[in-house]
Amino acid sequence: MANFAIMGFGTVGSGVAEVLRMNGAAIAEKLGEPLRLKYILDVRNLSATPYADAAVKDFAVLENDPELDVVVESIGGARVALDFTRRALLAGKHVVTSNKELVATHGKELLAIAREKNVNYLFEASVGGGIPVLRPLFQCLAGNQIQEVAGILNGTTNYILTRMVKGGVPFDEALKEAQAKGYAEQNPAADIEGLDAGRKICILSDLAWGKEVLPENISTQGISAIDLQDAAIASGAGYRIKLLGRAMKLADGRQAAFVAPHLVPESSPLASVDDVFNAIMIRGNAVGDVMFYGRGAGDLPTASAVMGDILDALAHRDRRRNLGWSQSAELIDLDAELPLHWYLRGDFTPPAGSQRLSDRAVIVGPVPGTEVRALAQRVGAQTLLPVLR
């Protein structure tokens, strides 16, 4: 018998309980022993639910139970979740989480505690929901030097962009639709402004290169300023507008990470990733480009990833997974040092050497951000977006 607890019984936490209910017999067979949901820690009253017997209010019950193997942290945020995760690891429990904010901001510290206590801190569900991507990155692709990671990491913004591009719906209206469908929160800032994608690209970067990149140190541009005109011009020229998180390691060992709406050529498999789906492209120096696609959010998909981590933690009970990141990455000055291709729209004479997309839009590059911004100002461009190559 293996025992686990769920802290925070919201969408993800209750999804994990539901996956155990659906698939408990198959899970026990794979594990070689039954998996029991022993505790649910939540402020909610669960007495009228099937989980009444597991409900507890005091974290110390989990902390002090020597029979408890794994704790799922689905509280969210970086306050209570941080305190409980620290204490659970210090008490020798494996911890599995979907909490991207906590992993992105405190992962280094928590992984160090896990290393010291010889337990696992696993967080596959923190990026891409149910899509297996972190474990393939650090394990299957371990023979590669990773060169770049680029992903559609936020389903809400991808839904909105899909409606804008394919439906011709303006941003404000597409956002309202997303809210009506439950894809966007009433306060959608974290999604719309790219903060959620920023946390996820930091976690991908941390794992790809073993050095910490903090969300507060990367450039993040959201989608609220995207104009239907640009969506139409891009589509007409064989591009789609997608919000991408990108992280790369340069030849000199320095790194870059940022979030911005991009023009993505239709030949890229990222271009056809629509609606709430997510996809992450990883470029390794042996494998080339591989892509992982699926639902980036939702109770059961996210719970699928959490359950995979629970089973992996239990399979590595004695010998923890060697996983983590240490000192801070050395980030380049993104604007000054990273030459990209750029899309510009405006009532201008096309700059020399530019590729015309329409009578009012061009692609230039590769040039760094400072340079292209000066050009955009000089010619009076109304839109400036990077282009994925």
Catalog residues that contact a copy of itself under the rule CB under 8 A.
Answer: 15, 19, 22-23, 26-27, 30, 32, 124, 130-132, 135-136, 139-145, 269, 272-273, 277, 284-295, 298, 300-301, 303-308, 310-312, 315, 318-319, 322
User: Are the C-beta atoms of 135 and 170 separated by less than 8 Å?
Assistant: no
Cα dihedral 342/347/351/356 (nearest 10): 60
Cα(63)–Cα(14) distance, rounded to whole angstroms? 21
Residue closer to a copy of itself by CB (options 9, 292) is 292
Q: Which of 38, 93, 108, 200 is catalytic?
A: 200
Least distance CB 325 / a copy of itself (angstroms): 13
* Lookup result for tokens 């990141």: 325
Least distance CB 43 / a copy of itself (angstroms): 26
Cα(122)–Cα(336) distance, rounded to whole angstroms? 36
Q: In which element (H, E) is residue 15 found?
A: helix 11-31
Residue closer to a copy of itself by CB (options 118, 377) is 118
CA distances from 309 to 52, 130, 297 (A): 25, 11, 16
Residue closer to a copy of itself by CB (options 328, 370) is 328
Residue closer to a copy of itself by CB (options 144, 179) is 144
User: Are the C-beta atoms of 9 and 44 separated by less than 8 Å?
Assistant: yes
DSSP states along 124-179: GGGSSTTS--HHIIIIITTTSPEEEEEEE--HHHHHHHHHHHHH---HHHHHHHHH
200 is catalytic: yes
Least distance CB 227 / a copy of itself (angstroms): 26
Cα(3)–Cα(38) distance, rounded to whole angstroms? 6
Least distance CB 133 / a copy of itself (angstroms): 9
Residue closer to a copy of itself by CB (options 269, 346) is 269
Cα(258)–Cα(213) distance, rounded to whole angstroms? 11
Least distance CB 344 / a copy of itself (angstroms): 28
Dihedral of alpha carbons 183, 74, 222, 256, sign: negative
Q: Which residues are catalytic?
A: 200
